[in-house]
Amino acid sequence: MTAAATTLFDLSGRVALVTGGARGIGAAYVRALHDAGARVVVADLLEDEGSALAADLGDRVRFARLDVTDEDGWAAVVADVVAGWGGLDVLVNNAGIANAGPIEHYPRAKWDAVIAVNLTGVYLGCRAVVAALRARGGGSIVNISSVEGMRGSTHLHGYVASKFGVRGLTKSLAVELGADGIRVNSVHPGFVETDMTARIDPSGLPIPLRRGGRPDDLTGTLLYLASDASAYVTGAELVVDGGMINGVGHL
C-alpha cells in the first residue's frame, strides 16, 4: 500500500463503535478499525467474548454491554464513549439475527424478534449517535444490510424485510444528515462463513468466485466507508458477495 493510500485509510484519533462486535464479522471489523488506528468500542451482549477481544487488542479497545433494542442502553453507551474518549466518529450497525420459516408457519414472535434487532436496533443506533457525530463536525454511519436486502429469498421473510428496511433507512438518513457532514452508507454481504452460517455448504451456492466469503473479505469495504477515502460517498449500497447476485441461475 502506498503512503498516500495509507494516509487515506488512516483512522488515527477517531473513535468507532461496532455493534455485534464480539465475534464473527463484527470482530473482524473491530480488528480492522483498531489496526487502522482508531479507538474502538465493542458493543455486544456477549460479555466474555467481547471483553476477551478488547483485552487482546489493548488500551484502544473497550467492551460495552449493549442490547441494540434497548433505547436507554444506547443513550448510556454513547454518553460513556463521549465522556471517556471525547467524542464519536464512526458507527457500525452490525448486530443482527436470522430466522426462517414458510409464511403460513412463520409466527409473529419470529417476525418481531428479527425486526427488533436488525431494523429497530439500527434506527435506535443511528438516532443515538447523531448529536455526537454532529459535535465532531461530521462522521460516518455504516449500516450492515445483506444481499437479502436486494432481493427476495424463500422462508427468510423477516430477515429480508429487515434488511430492505436497513437499506431504505440508510438512504433517508443520508439525505437528512448530509448537511451535517454525516455520511450514511449500507454494506450488503453475501454468504460469509461464520457461526450463523455454519450449517450451510457454500459449494452449492451460485457464487462466481467459487468460495464462501470470510469476515476479512468485508473489512476493506468497511475501512473505505469509515475513512476519508469515501468523503464524497453517502446513501450508497456496496454489495460484497463474490458476485452471488449476478451468478444466480448461471452457474
Would you please indicate which residues are annotated as catalytic (active-site) residues? 159
Determine contact, residues 91/16, Cβ cutoff 8 Å: yes
One-letter amino acid at 51 equals S
Distance, CA of 216 to CA of 31 (rounded, Å): 10
* Integer angstrom CA distances of residue 250 from 113, 203, 246, 247: 34, 14, 8, 5
Task: Quickly tell me which residue has 463484527 as its cell.
Answer: 26
Question: Which residues are paired to 61 by β-bridges?
Answer: 40
